[in-house]
Amino acid sequence: MKKDLDILMVGHFAKDKIVVDGVEEICAGGAVYYGAVVLKRLGLEVGVASRGNPDDYPSLQPLMDMGIEFDLHPASQSSGCINIYNSADMDHRICKLFGFAGEIPYEDIPDVNAKIIAILPIIAGEVSLDTLIKLSKKAPIALDVQGFVRVPEGDDLLFKPWKDMEEGLKYVTFLKVDSAEAEYLTGEKDLEKAAKKLAAYGPKEIVLTQKKEILVYADGKFYRAPFMPKNLSGRTGRGDTCITSYIGSRIKHDPERACQIAGIITSMKQEVPGPWTGDIDPERFDPQIVFGD
C-alpha cells in the first residue's frame, strides 16, 4: 500500500444477500466497498484495510483495477448482511446476519500517512476502542456508528448500546449516524437536537442521514441537502455513499459544499445498484459542484 493516502478506510468488505420481493442476489458490499469507489471517483488516493474469506477476494478486483489499494487479511468467512426489501417500499428493510469476519487488530492495519482515517464497520466487533484510540493519534477519524451499535444476536442484527460510546466519541472528528441510530443513542426524535447531543461527546461534525436528506451539524451550524433519486433500485449502500462522499469532499471544501456534494452523489447512487458510477445528470445537478475547483 502507498505510504501517502488521502483516506485510509478500515472495515470489512461484505458478501451480502439482497432479497427484493423474494428474489435473491449475492453481491459485494460494505462501506469500504461502496465508499472506496466514491472516493476514487472524486480523484482521491484511497486505501482499504480489511479482512474476509479469500474465496471472496475476486469481488474486489474491479476496485483494485481502479487503483484502490487493499491490505487484506484472511478469515474463515466474510462479513455480510441479508437485506430484505419489498419493492413497494425500498426505504425499509429487514437486516439479518449473513457472516462475520472477526476483529481487525490494530497490528493488521498498515502504517500510512492519511489525511483522514475512516472507521466504517458493518457489524459490532470489527474495531475495538483501543484500535480507535490508537488510530486517532495518526489522523482525524471518521466513524460510522452503525458498526458499534449493530450487534449480532443469533441470525438477527439488533440495536444494542455501545458501552464505550462516551469514551470513544472523544476521538472522533466526523460521526455518521442515521435517523434511527440518532434517536436510539440520544432519545431525541428531533434530529437537530440529536445532532447537538452527539456533538457534545466530542465529534466536530455530525453527518446524519434520513429518508429525504443529509443533515450536517458543523461549527454550530446546520446544513441540509435533499436526496432526489428517481428510483431506489440502488438503495443498499446509501449511507456508505453519503459519509464517504462527505468526508472525501471535506478534504477540499467547507461543510456546506461537502453536504451539497454528498446529497448529489447519494441521490445518483440510489438509482443504480452497486457503487456510484461517477455520472452526474447535468439537467438535474450541476457537475461543477461535485467536480469543480
pLDDT along the chain (293 residues), means of 10: 95 93 92 97 97 96 96 96 86 88 97 98 96 98 96 91 96 97 96 98 97 96 97 91 98 98 97 94 95 82
Kindly list the structural domains of the chain, giving each domain's residue range(s) and its CATH number in brackets, ordered by start.
4-291 (3.40.1190.20)
Map grid coordinates 443529509 to a residue: 214
> Which pLDDT score, from 0 to 100, does residue 293 have?
65
Q: Are 129 and 167 in contact (CB under 8 A)?
A: yes
> Which pLDDT score, from 0 to 100, does residue 292 have?
87
Region of 187 on the Ramachandran plot (φ > 0 left; ψ -120 to 50 alpha; else beta): left
> Which pLDDT score, from 0 to 100, does residue 62 have?
95
> Which pLDDT score, from 0 to 100, does residue 247 have?
98
**Is this prediction's pTM over 0.85?**
yes
